[in-house]
Chain A
Amino acid sequence: MTRPGLTIALLTGLAQFGAIEAWADGALPQACVQRLAGKPITLVVPNAAGGGFDIYARALAPVVERISGVPVRVANMPGGGGKAALLRVADAPPDDAVMLIENSGDVVAELREDSSLGHSPEDLHVLGAILVEPDAWIGRPDLDLTAPDLPALVAAVSSVDANLAVVGLVAQATGLTVHFVSGYKSSGEQVAAIMRGEADFSPKSLGTAVQVAKSGDAKPLLVLSDGPVASLPGVPWLVGEGSFLAQRSANLTTEQRAKQDQLARLAVELSSGARMLFVSAQMQAETQDCLTSALDAALVDPAFSDAALAQGRPVTPKSAAEASEIYHDKIRAYTEAAPVLAELANQIQP
């Protein structure tokens, strides 16, 4: 349960007078407006104010507030590398309208790998997705991954474990030799490491890769997708027809190609970023349904996408059903990849 405070008290009082129903904009069924009334919605962000998740949350909050008729507050909980936020939602009592905005891959990885948290990925329920986009490699402007006799590459990363799929698995699938230099804390430091010549490339989200390409400090080398990406024209993609892998594996046997193709597709599944909205699976079903309805309307509302885009954050909304499918695909991919990633982790020493 959240610490209630004055908001709840005042809202409860107002709800008793029926005043609150007047606030909702009519996009939500009346039954939901009444169910949500008196319970402020909390949107938990696992980072400090100012980051990407925070921008999305603050753009979304007023829209959900207008649709649901109840106040929506954004709470930043960066503690414990975001685990405080994860636990806040996973441990929420059933009557608590608290949501988490987080990357699906991070949620799955943390809940699978850290048994001390006492939860599994299935303990969270997905209500929708804000953005689904592939990752990309950005690197030295003079680097060409398709060049013959490419020497061993150096990747600038924050930690090896967090980049096993996005770098290690891709390297294994494509036959590239990659060394990790881990400990570069921020995305900016990783780009600077490329500019100083300490590293050849670094994995980034598609949005960051597009920004970096604009600055000219580094260039997008490879998109970890199964097809070309419109926002990065001319940049090779990892797997599929005409892909980087197809070129690299042209001389291999069919069996070898199939194996590498499987690894590459696994890397694509694991690395793709999906910024989703989660609630506790224990949340009352009716409240969950009402929040889903509110988000379904809010995520496609132009007021949200315009506000996010104005701050350089694109939106590709997905409904609860679509997002849930993506989330469960992610859980399956992690289960499938676990032995491969464990073996990779043993091979790679920073």
Chain B
Amino acid sequence: MTDTFAALGIGLQTLFSWWGILIPLFGTLMAMVVSFLPGIGAASLAAVMVVATLDWSPEHVMLLFGALTGGATFMGSITSILFGIPGNAASSVTLIDGYPMAQAGRPRTAIAAAATASAAGSVIGVLVLLTLLPVVRPLLLQFGPLERAGLALWGLSTIIAVLNGSPLKAFAMAGLGLLLSCVGSDPTNSQPRWTYGQFGLADGLGPEAMLLGIFTLSEVMSWRGRSRLQPVSRQSNPDDSTRAGVMAVLKHRGLVLRSSLIGTVVGLIPGVGGTVAGFVAYGQTVQTAHGGCEKFGKGDIRGVIGPESAVDAKDGGSLLPVLALGLPGSEGGVFLLTAMTIHGLVPGTAMLGPALPLTFTLILALLLSNLLTSVVGLALVPALSRLTHLPIERLALPVLLAGLVSVVQMNGLFADLFVGVAFALLGYVLRRLNWPYVPFVIAFVLGPTLEGNLALTTQLQMLGRINIFTRPAAWVILGLTLMSLLWMLKRTRGGRRVAPTPSRRSDAVVATVFSLGVAVLAATALMGASAYSSYAIAVCLVTLLACAGLAADLWRRAQPSDEPFLPIPHRRPLALVFAFPFVAQLLGLPLAAGFLVLAWLLPGKKARLHDIARVTAAATLTILSVTFYLDHIASLDLPAPMLHGLLDWPEIALASLTSGGGP
């Protein structure tokens, strides 16, 4: 114990030095800025920093990587709250209540609550970790495939907590989420499933493409023709203040503590991640809420505080598997591991023994970074909250373009563009019909964790390598899952079930389309049985039953509606987004971006010459900017487009400018 305190002292000494302050400050600010830029992301920053810090001392490297881990987490929540666009996967849960709060004129309160909850979560997470440090290795080894599968089940049970409306719709959407997460390849034999010969789908439908499509692209498409985020008015809600957000966190301190503990435990389990921490915390927030849970999903501040505490508390937990076992659970963990290797630090018992001061340095830098991010976040609340008054019609196009380019950049695959756009259209339909898309997202994110770990557990059970009766952590998780389910039962019996209401024909049509789509997948699975596990087939058939049942129910209650399914201002953005992947494949990404700008901005019948010139200039600038971005910033090398000869014109134009003559 004395050694531990001595190591903590050395860690603190390292932190409270000039470099100890400056390096985390630099890392935090860099991570905060980068997490705002589309497509680059914290992982790319970490990759650059691994190389840039080759000559640094191990202490300084630990300070920097602790800060990089902490700096990026909170900033993703800002865009979630203000624009309904999650900056990263983990902050998508903050959107559920944060975005409605901003729409209701309370952006300051929401951001302040998120910043304070993040800081509190981070402190609690680090304190718990410091307590657990002596037993961290045996603790980590308690979490195997069985526990991870249990955790995924617990996460799925939180779908019940976010139910608002028809349970059958939520069930069908969760089934669709699980089913689409199976697309790709079987986790045990790597046989392709539902890829239809497209190797671009071999890794599955990317969660990043899904989140970008469902949350960002589908939202932005509806911005065209709108002057600002409605119904926010210039006169903000009089109750909206930074103080209200901070006080709300203090008022709900029990919630902060519970959520932070959840986040810490989830963070300890490699490969599970902040998204699960956020959703599990959200579920328990709703389930343990006093005074009713009707406001959740409509702007309840507790729905911001719970997940934010958990997601930041997770950061500390996620470092320990890297340090103690060399087991990275995220991209950030991979880079930390690489940086450690470069500097001769071997993960394992050494990091909890002789190298314990370095471990403390890393944890303390993370803590400092998380606190710093929250302080900066709080200081910027007034400025950030004013972003909702930006003319969003002008923001829509850049955000859309950044989203579409980012989605290709992630894996260098055009297939991801099609996937992102498909999810954007799905998200749009769900938003228009007011269907629950959160169950879909939760199931999609948790599906691979559930399936992969169930498959491992089954194999280990058959070989006698796992005994479920001697796994206390699994029983705890199972108990918590059962409590969630009991809560659902109580809630349903409590009369909160929504009375059947007449449905629109468009609802029934969409449910029928879903049923037919799932039927095709089911037929594919049954014909290619060897490549499809029992799990995949079961998920497919249950989803088919749910969708078919939903369609039948909706047709029974369907009534004609005068409201058009596609409002006129949405038609052009929808058509353009739908066409974008095809144009990109034909002409290449830069020209497709230019085409999008041209078609988006082109005025109607009364177009004047200078309008056309302005729009053409904007399109040309976009083409050159995207080309520059892909070549020099993202360093992305996409396959040649079908009409690649057309792509040469920017090069020819620039070459002729450089040489001073014609091409």
Contact = CB atoms under 8 A, between A and B. Distances in A.
Contact of B658 (A12, A88, A350): A12
Interface in B639-659: 639-641, 644, 647-648, 650-655, 657-659
B33 interface: no
A3 B325 contact: no
B486 interface: no
Interface in B316-349: 325-328, 331, 334-335, 338, 341-342, 346-349
B188 interface: yes
A87 interface: yes
Contacts of B201: 80
A182 B460 CA distance: 10
A158 B185 CA distance: 12
B59 to A, nearest CB: 18
B459 A84 contact: no
B276 to A, nearest CB: 16
Interface string B406-441: 000001110110000000000000000000000000
Contact of B637 (A54, A75, A81): A75
Contacts of A117: 199
Interface in B611-631: 624, 627-628, 630-631
B203 interface: yes
A312 B337 CA distance: 11
A216 B351 CA distance: 12
Interface in A129-174: 154, 158-162
Nearest to A46: B412
A19 to B, nearest CB: 11
B341 A312 contact: yes
Interface residues of A, number: 75
A75 to B, nearest CB: 4
A3 B416 CA distance: 18
A136 to B, nearest CB: 17
Contacts, number: 225
Interface stretch (A191-199, A235-243, A319-327, A336-344): A191-199
Contact of A6 (B187, B460, B632, B641): B632
A350 B199 contact: no
Interface stretch (B40-48, B160-168, B229-237, B281-289): B40-48
A50 B331 contact: yes
B271 interface: yes
- What interface size band does chain B fall in? 35 or more
Contacts of B244: none
A192 B327 contact: yes
Nearest to B340: A312
Interface in B328-377: 328, 331, 334-335, 338, 341-342, 346-350
Contact of B639 (A9, A14, A74, A91): A91
A49 B413 contact: no
A77 B640 contact: no
Contact of A1 (B326, B416, B644): B644
B326 A154 contact: no
Contacts of B523: none
B452 A183 contact: yes
A44 B635 CA distance: 10
B499 interface: no
B364 to A, nearest CB: 24
Interface string A87-101: 110010100001000
B274 interface: no
B326 A77 contact: no
B111 to A, nearest CB: 31
Contacts of A195: 141, 325
B341 A311 contact: yes
Interface in A48-64: 48-51, 54-55, 58
Interface string B122-158: 0000000000000000000100110000000000000
Given A5-B631, A7-B631, A79-B411, A87 B639 contact: yes
A83 B548 CA distance: 37
A254 interface: no
B189 interface: yes
A49 B202 contact: no
A3 B47 contact: no
Nearest to A13: B658
Contact of B650 (A9, A14, A73, A216): A9
B406 to A, nearest CB: 14
Given A5-B631, A198-B144, A215-B348, A77 B459 contact: no
A5 B627 contact: yes
B413 A80 contact: yes
A183 B338 contact: no
Interface in A190-217: 191-193, 195-199, 211, 214-217
B589 A3 contact: yes
A250 B434 CA distance: 73
Given A87-B639, A197-B465, A116 B197 contact: yes
B647 A3 contact: yes
Contacts of B270: 188-189, 192
A165 B144 CA distance: 27
B43 A49 contact: yes
B148 to A, nearest CB: 10
Interface string B577-618: 000000000001110000000000000000000000000000
A41 to B, nearest CB: 11
A159 B188 contact: yes
A78 B342 contact: no
A3 B588 contact: yes
A88 B414 CA distance: 12
Contact of B342 (A6, A85, A216, A311): A311
A189 B327 contact: yes
A114 interface: yes
B466 interface: yes
Interface string A11-40: 011101000000000000000000000000
A4 interface: yes
A2 interface: yes
A97 B215 CA distance: 39
Contacts of B38: none
Contact of A211 (B189, B346, B411, B463): B346
B485 interface: no
Contacts of A114: 199
Contact of A350 (B44, B189, B271): B189
Contact of B199 (A83, A197, A211): A83
B332 to A, nearest CB: 10
A84 B411 contact: yes
B489 interface: no
A75 B635 contact: yes
B654 A10 contact: yes
B373 to A, nearest CB: 23
Interface in B36-68: 43-44, 46-47, 50-51, 54
Contact of B463 (A6, A14, A179): A179
B171 to A, nearest CB: 27
A246 interface: no
A77 B335 CA distance: 18
Contacts of A14: 658
29 contacts: A3-B640, A5-B630, A7-B631, A9-B651, A13-B659, A42-B637, A49-B47, A55-B338, A73-B635, A74-B635, A75-B412, A75-B635, A76-B635, A79-B411, A81-B203, A84-B199, A161-B190, A181-B460, A182-B189, A183-B452, A183-B459, A186-B271, A188-B325, A195-B141, A198-B460, A215-B326, A216-B348, A311-B54, A312-B342
Across the A-B interface, the 8 shortest Cβ-Cβ residue pairs: A13-B658, A79-B411, A79-B413, A9-B654, A5-B631, A75-B637, A215-B348, A77-B412
Given A74-B635, A77-B412, 8 more contacts: A12-B651, A16-B658, A50-B335, A50-B338, A186-B327, A193-B144, A198-B460, A350-B188
